[in-house]
Amino acid sequence: MRLDFEDADVIQLEGRQLTPSKAVAEDGSHLRTIAREAVADIEEKFADRLEINRDLSRSLVSFQANKSEPFYRWFKYREGFSKPLIEYFIEHSNVSGTANVLDPFAGTGATCFVANERGLAATAIELLPVGSNFIRLRQAIFGVEPAEISAWMHEIIEDRPWERTNGRISFSHLRITQDAFGPETDDALARYRFWVSKQPQPKKQFCDFLSYSILEEISYTRKDGQYLRWDYRSPRSKVRGKFDKGKIYTFDEAIISKAQSILYDLSKGSDDLLSKLNPSQAVSNITLFEGSNFEALEKIESASVDLVVTSPPYCNRYDYTRTYALELAYLGCSEEEIRRLRQALLSCTVENRPKDLQGVVSDSAIGKGVAAFEANDAIQASIRFLEGEAAAGALNNTGIVKMVRGYFTEMAIHIAQLARVMKPGGRIYLVNDNVRYNGLDLPVDCILSAFAEELGFRCEKIWILPMGKGNSSQQMKLHGRSELRKCVYIWERLPS
């Protein structure tokens, strides 16, 4: 069923229409109308804080800008922050030399590395070993002479020692990674891992990281948001269609190219990089919590954090445990461990079940967070609308209702936890995308900012990226096109 409506009360910003609002659906869809009105109201509330920031190009906000950054480009994390973006936030925040920086969804730890480079102490929380493996690597090579790392790289490039070993450590595949490599790649990777296992530390950890970081390049797979796509050349392609990922590198090509790029980073522009790796010149290290944000935040002292720079998962069904299945398998995660991790993710997939946070998070944070969630008309009306769509069989996956409810409840509790650990005057810079389900734009930016204002923060600004995000073609066909905002929220902790 197609709904056509005219926007009655549109927020205009620099001549751009930001949201369809207060529209009345022709079919009289009551729940949709109520949800749209509630969304329009909350957008009006934040209209004076919504501001397009032309400094924030899409490449600056994505991992792209790291392509030329030594060290940051060693592991490609699509969801990762670029180094210049974090520098931009730190400069904007005006924090001083003794500040504590926190990223509760740290991924590969970019926020914390940049903070460290500027002499700031940093704490990283990350659930998945995919990102924390890179943070641990950095800890392991902290203090190692770059000349030593260069020698390891030369050995890989010039000697290819794995070609002479007879031993093998095979890759233990998960169900969803089976047949990801051709037989020659499988064999070369197994020989390489055997050779690595015989090396002393920290060379062992570093060389192990090298093969870990090339898995996508040497496989038949490509990471694609919600899942892994399979190339038509793989044995699994019959069920997966005709996707061509382009060149699939041999193991030797990929590992040598990786070693060369690290060597290049160590030799060129090295003044900067050497000081980053050398502990005598870096002020502090990173405190890493490997686990969920909910558990880790409880261990952080009250009023101890000056600055949070973070990006939680978006409410967009992307499943990190599927897209990073190869890396998780490489790190030895079992099927059961993957299921546990998937459930522990901030609810952002249709498979997440409601979390029981009693006994994990303080009663106070749960109470305040749930109250902020329940008091928010925009999210409550949106959930009722989605429930109605699900009941009418109009939602392509009924798990979306559960995901949206879980996402916003959990984010409210998370914000309540952040309020406790932050110093008065401390700031949060949070990057997130708005989302749309069944033609309803969920203003994630305004809803989370309203939670923050309930929970002890002042929303200073919501910076909008100049280019909004497009739509899925399915959504566009059904509901027409309007822009989805990608934003950076800036919240200031008020005195308690």
Ligand X SMILES: C[S@@+](CC[C@H](N)C(=O)[O-])C[C@H]1O[C@@H](n2cnc3c(N)ncnc32)[C@H](O)[C@@H]1O
Q: Where are the extended beta strands (E) located within 340-485?
A: 422-433, 435-437, 440-442, 457-464
> Sign of dihedral through CA atoms 196, 157, 280, 75?
negative
Give the shortest CB-450-to-ligand X separation in angstroms: 22
Output the smallest distance, CB 461 to ligand X, in A. Answer: 20
- Give the footprint of ligand X on residues 272-291 (CB under 6 A): none
Stretch that binds ligand X, among 27-35, 76-84, 267-275, 326-334 (CB under 6 A): 76-84
Calpha distance 35→415 (Å, rounded): 24
The size of the interface with ligand X (CB under 6 A), counted in residues, is 23
SS3 percent helix, strand, coil of the chain, rounded to 5, is: 45, 15, 40
Nearest alpha-carbon partner for 124 in 322, 332, 250, 305: 305
Segment interacting with ligand X (CB under 6 A) among 305-313, 386-394, 421-429, 459-467 = 305-313
Cβ of residue 289: shortest distance to ligand X, in angstroms? 8
Place of tokens 């030399």: 97
Q: Does 70 bind ligand X (CB under 6 A)?
A: no
- Report the nearest approach of ligand X to the CB of residue 256 (Å): 26
Identify the residue among 182, 313, 443, 468 touching ligand X (CB under 6 A).
313
User: Which residue's Cβ lies closest to ligand X?
Assistant: 107
> For ligand X, which residue of 116, 123, 213, 293 counts as binding (CB under 6 A)?
293
Measured from the CB atom, the residue of 153 and 412 that comes closer to ligand X is 412
Tokens describing residue 219: 């496989």
Contact predicate 411/454, CB 8 Å: no
First to last CA, the chain: 50
Site for ligand X, residues 322 to 381, rule: CB under 6 A: 344-346
Question: Does 202 sit behind a cis peptide bond, omega within 30 degrees of 0 on the bond before it?
Answer: yes
Tell me, what DSSP letter sits at residue 443? -
Q: Concatenated DSSP letters for 157-177?
A: III-GGGG----------GGG
Out of 162, 195, 209, 320, which residue is the one contacting ligand X (CB under 6 A)?
A: 320
Applying the rule CB under 6 A, the residues between 93 and 152 that interact with ligand X are 105-108, 110, 125-128, 131
Nearer to ligand X, 111 or 482 (CB): 111
Identity of the residue, 255 or 296, whose beta carbon is nearer to ligand X in the bound complex: 296
Q: In whole angstroms, give the CA distance from residue 47 to residue 44.
A: 5
Binder among 20, 70, 80, 182 for ligand X (CB under 6 A)? 80
Instruction: Count other C-beta atoms under 10 Å from residue 380's C-beta.
Output: 17
Report, in Å, the least distance between residue 409 CB and ligand X: 13
Minimum distance, C-beta of residue 130 to ligand X, in the bound complex (Å): 7
* Contacts to ligand X by CB under 6 A: 77, 79-81, 105-108, 110, 125-128, 131, 292-293, 311-313, 320, 344-346
